[in-house]
Amino acid sequence: MIGRLNHVAIAVPDLAAAAAMYADTLGAKVSAPLAQPDHGVTVVFVELPNTKIELLHPLGEGSTIAKFLANNPSGGMHHVCYEVEDIIAARDKLKQQGARVLGDGEPKIGAHGKPVLFLHPKDFAGTLVEIEQV
């Protein structure tokens, strides 16, 4: 069902410093910050030859990333994102197998402009999983 690893998301307390570390220290290609108000985050994408790193920073008071950083002040891995061909078929199969889809269960448009859903971390060895339709 799942395809390629699309990205690993890392919550960071200082987006500019994290982006500079990837660009300057590691020599990676780094995007400009992109506000995602529907998701309560500002993101920066770090492009790698085989995948991406998504740096996440809170946007607004109710951001789930703000809550994550309150518990992890230095930041840390937030989620992994896998590609799927058909997000509705994947959602339905996952639910049939007992996985919990977060939110209202309907896909939302993610930072890449494609439909995404998040799956409960307790169902995936403590890891928040995002699926994204390619």
| Six token digits for residue 31 | 């995007």
Number of domains in the chain: 1
The boundaries of the domain holding residue 111 are 5-133
Domain CATH number, residue 53? 3.10.180.10
Distance CA 37, CA 58 (A): 10
Helices of type H across the chain: 15-20, 64-71, 87-96
pLDDT in tens, 106-125: 999 998 899 999 999 999 99
**Catalytic position from the list 47, 83, 106, 130:** 130
| Six token digits for residue 117 | 């859903």
Least Cα distance to 41 among 28, 24, 58 occurs for 58
Amino acid making up residue 82: Y
pLDDT in tens, 45-90: 999 999 999 999 999 878 989 999 999 999 999 999 999 999 999 9
Q: Look at the block and give the residue holding tokens 């896998």.
A: 82
Give me the pLDDT at residue 38, please: 85
According to DSSP, the residues that pair with 133 across neighbouring strands are 84
Burial tier of 123 (Cβ tally within 10 Å: 0-12, 13-18, 19+):
middle
130 catalytic per annotation: yes
Least Cα distance to 108 among 58, 38, 6, 53 occurs for 38
Whole-structure pTM value: 0.94
